[in-house]
Amino acid sequence: MAGQLRYPGKVVIVTGGTSGIGLVIVREFVRQGANVVFCSEPSQVEVGEAIQRELQNCGCPGDAYFQVCDVCNETDIKRLILVTVERYGCLDCLVNNAGDAYAEKIDDVTAQEFRRVLKLNTLSVLLASKIGALKVIMAVVLTEKLPLRQEKIDRLWCEKSGYCQHFDFTCIESLVDMRCTD
């Protein structure tokens, strides 16, 4: 019953959603009525599409959609958010789950591997959070037909992100018509 669902109709993005904790998060959101766009790297296309079919056919009240995304690539993140908004109309929640860790001894870790993991575990969170939060704010501004005044943007940023600081107005204006270009 819809009254018992925790996330009916909510729209969620889960990065790294084809395995481990990410997959569990995707399944639970769908089970609880959310519409979930989950992503993973290009090498996981077959796995992602199989999970999408499984979740769409399981009888759960939510929906799932797989999108290929290199979470360290700003254009891919923009595309992920754009696909989500085009498919479901908004974005309510972002789960930055994509990440990696070391399974070998410290002596066996190369500088190149360390940089790769550091980039994945930090840059991906920055990009998805920055672009995702801006899209949520812009949806509020456009839905409420609010004028784009700096004080209104700062207040919305504070409310939506929890970080109360001055926000770059030109950055918000550029996201009104977000395009996937480098």
- 10 Å CB burial of residue 18 (0-12, 13-18, 19+) is buried
CA distance 120 to 98: 7
Q: Looking at residue 166, what is its pLDDT?
A: 43
Neighbours of 69 (CB within 10 A): 29
Whole-model pTM: value is: 0.74
Give φ, ψ of 158 to 5 degrees.
-60, -45
Q: Looking at residue 165, what is its pLDDT?
A: 45
- 10 Å CB burial of residue 140 (0-12, 13-18, 19+) is middle
Average confidence (pLDDT) per 10 residues, the chain, 182 residues: 80 94 95 96 96 96 97 91 89 88 82 89 86 68 52 56 46 40 34
Domains identified in the chain and CATH numbers: 2-175 (3.40.50.720)
Q: Looking at residue 139, what is its pLDDT?
A: 61
Q: What is the helix (H) or strand (E) element at residue 95, kind and residue range?
A: strand 93-95
